[in-house]
Structure 1
Amino acid sequence: MLSVNTVAEIEFELREEIGQEGRNSKVFRSFDQALDAELVIKRVNKNSVADADALFDEARLLYKSTHPYVVPINYACQDNDFIYLAMPYFPDGSLAQLMEQRFLTVREIIKFTCQFVSGLHNIHSKGLIHFDIKPDNILLSHRGEALLSDFGLAKHTNSLGLARPNQMYVKQQPPECFSANEYTTAFDVYQVGLTLYRMCVGNEEFNRQFMSYVVADTFDRARFANALRSEAFPNRTAYPEHIPEKLKQTITKCLKSSPDNRFTAVLEITNALSSIDEKLLDWQFELNGNQKKWSKEFNGAIKYIAIDNGNSIAKRVPSTGKETNINQYCINNIGVRDLKRFFKI
């Protein structure tokens, strides 16, 4: 007769700590000898909750959320002190890490959003709210695809479509967090919009805005709440000039103060992004001190425009031969209209 439960050993080596998710868990690059594979192990302290079995909730949610754009779980196990969740190791890291290296092109922003939002739609269809969507929790596969990860705050909705996470991170809170105790999938829609916003303006600008609510090492919660309700945070006018209007409009709708005024389903976000002008997709933006620069490959050459203190230099750099000025865009005090015309030539 088969036993009800079988207990077996799993052996892995924790090689390098690569992250910390709250006070009670750490993330390690690890190696599983039996699988001959590098993995990521999330180690959760059992002392962090009264019911240690509840720490397996994230593993259960990941297992139930199998989807091409959701990070899968390999296995879950425990010892006397910790719960261990094993997931694939993605050497390219997270979307946040890529954003630390450079600004994303509009094409990348749209591609990555459509991918992880597809995974998010899948978990919404199973009655779950993620509650923790941010660039750190979007991992990049070896194929360069954006996969949604970290279901540590995810919760099942009740019969009214409502749920509440055990905790929230203030940078990502939508306005309703200051007036309600339970939330709908509109919470995730807001966080998708905030992630899109961060992809457009960069983490440095986003963090600069957030830190303006910290005075003398004290976070001004009341002022921050008012800024969310009035839609003053994040700053809807801080976009680099190449960001298309349709992308900005999509973000604005995601970030509406009232949940009822946001997209009703996350797939509506991908539909809204589908018709952005092709000529605006591939500009690579750089910011070096006061200088802004945009470059793009075009018919075997590189076109670029650099602006410093309002004065612009525009050039065409062929793969062979001499670079030439694009004289009509070498302008003192160049205006936004001229710059946007340059993006479309």
Structure 2
Amino acid sequence: MTEPATVVQLQAGMQLYKYRLCHRIGGGSFGEVWLAEDRAVDHEYAIKILKPGTPVHHRLREAQIGHVLDHNNVVRVHQADVTRIGQHDYVIIAMDYMPNGPITMLANPSHYLRLPDVIRLGKDILRGLEYLHGHDFFHNDVKPENVLIGLHEQGMLTDYGIVGVTQDGAPVQPPTFYKIHAAPEVLNANEITAQTDVFQAGLTLFRMLVGLDTLRQKFNELGEQAYYRALSDADLISVSDFPAYIPPRLKRIILKAINPNLAERFQSALEMRRELEKLNFPGFWTVEETGEFVGYNAAYSYRYEQTKKVGNRYDILALKRSLSTGRETRFAKFCHTNVTSGVAKREIAKFVKAVVEGV
């Protein structure tokens, strides 16, 4: 009979076994994560304190997996302890502390990341998956919240709570799965493979580019069953879901990664990473703290103004500012007067794409 999932009220300064709690980093249904000082060795760790409610050996599984990992793009678990608080045994998992937090911290006010960061971090995520797959692990929980920013700004996979353990890459049943990132093979056959992680990586890149909450909103709007049908029918994400600032080559990579047909999906994390490595875009767009949508390349920043005229027509003013002198001038090639709303929309999209691809 399992213990009821009651939770001790943790507070900064509390001594928990050999750890002194400094401040809370995060938490969820599993328990809480704290920055803590290991008083025995005088070192700070991020410690994951798992709720009681399941047998101790089940809760230790995550630590046992994370402890054997050693790679620049995965977070290593250093040790695990079991301590009794009140009537219950708590499992404490000590990991490297990454002060920069998860990659969600890089999101702009519109909740998406800059294109160069997405491509760079996407390659890091896939490198981490290559390492895990090479050691017979399927991560099974790839999502933006589970990618931390390392000390050298690299992406690092973390959270091994629902990792699948395989032999020679054979499919295995997942302990459980993250509903919003559930691959069709999980829903249809209750199995995961390396390609399941590729699928989740594709959804992660989509969210990083378009909006971190985009899929959660779709899930809530459609409902679970309709969401899964759309996912399995390749209707959940289409080309029209990608804004103009995302280049077509990257769209194709993401759509291939999330193809419900395993034969059409990337066959490995390495194959997907090699496609990302072919990309090199001189510009990107982001939303500033002021709420303004601004494009950048090495020499200029870019913006546009759209003015409504009589009869539902518009003027489009495209501008570029020298990053060295601060002087702003009209970008005549992309300026238009007295055009319809449809033409205005298309011309703005051309301007946005041109900045990304190279003007």
TM-score range, shorter chain: 0.7 to 0.9
Using the size of structure 2 for normalisation, the TM-score is 0.82
| Distance (Å, rounded) in 2 between the aligned partners of 1:37 and 1:172 | 35
How many percent identity over aligned positions? Answer: 25
Q: Residues 77 and 85 of structure 1 are in contact (CA less than 8 Å); yes or no, is this contact kept in structure 2?
A: yes
**Is the deviation greater in 124-133 or in 220-229?**
220-229
Retained in 1: the 8 A contact 2:37–2:43? yes
Aligned to 1:127: 136
Q: CA RMSD of the aligned region, Å?
A: 2.5
Q: Which residue of 1 aligns with 2:276?
A: 273
Q: What TM-score, normalized by structure 1, do the two folds share? A: 0.85
Comparing 127-136 with 160-169, greater Cα deviation is found at 160-169
Q: 2: distance between equivalents of 1:74 and 1:11? A: 14
- Choose from 49, 59, 64 the match for 2:63: 59
**Per-residue Cα deviation, 1:62-101 (whole angstroms, up to 9, x for no partner):** 1222111111122211112211011122121101232265
| Aligned positions of 1:21-32 closer than 5 A | 21-22=28-29, 24-32=30-38
Inter-partner Cα distance in structure 1 for 2:108 and 2:329: 32
Distance 1:127 1:21 in 2: 27
Kindly indicate whether residue 253 of structure 2 is the aligned counterpart of residue 247 of structure 1.
no
Aligned partner letter, 2:275: A
Deviations 1:201-244 (A, max 9, x none): 0214333333212xxxxxx3221121111112134422121212
Q: Specify the alignment match of 2:20 in structure 1.
A: 13
Paired with 2:134 and 2:235, the residues of 1 have a C-alpha distance of: 32
SS in 2 for 1:260: coil
Which of 70, 85, 94 in structure 2 is aligned with 1:86? 94
Residue 168 (structure 1) aligned to one of 153, 162, 177: 177
Provide closer, same or farther for how the CA distance between residues 110 and 57 of structure 1 changes in structure 2, counting only shifts above 3 A.
same
**Of residues 76, 95, 104 in structure 2, which corresponds to 1:96?**
104
Instruction: Report whether the alignment pairs 1:324 with 2:332.
Output: no
Q: Deviations over 1:277-318 (max 9, x none)?
A: 432xx41322899x872321433xx32123558754322223
* Partner residue, 2:296: 296
* Matched residue, 2:285: 284
Name 1:40's counterpart in structure 2: 46
Q: CA deviation at 1:148?
A: 0.7
Contact 1:162 1:182 in 2 (8 A): yes
* Contact kept in structure 2, 1:69 and 1:119, CA below 8 Å: yes
For residue 166 of structure 1, report the CA deviation from its aligned partner.
1.9
Q: Contact 2:67/2:76 (CA < 8 Å) preserved in 1?
A: yes
Equivalent residue pairs, number: 323
Match of 1:5 in 2: none
1:62-73 matches, within 5 Å, as: 62-73=66-77
CA–CA distance in structure 2, aligned partners of residues 21 and 268 of structure 1: 33
Task: Using the TM superposition, name which of 9-18 and 168-177 deviates more.
Answer: 9-18
Q: Secondary structure at the match of 1:203?
A: coil
Unaligned runs of 5+ in 1: 1-8, 214-219
Tell me, in whole angstroms, the C-alpha distance in 2 between the residues paired with 1:230 and 1:140.
34
Q: Residue in 1 aligned with 2:3?
A: none
**Which consecutive residues of structure 2, in runs of 5 or more, have no partner in the other structure?**
1-15, 308-313, 338-343
- Residues 314 and 121 from structure 1, CA distance in 2 versus in 1: closer, same or farther, beyond 3 angstroms? same
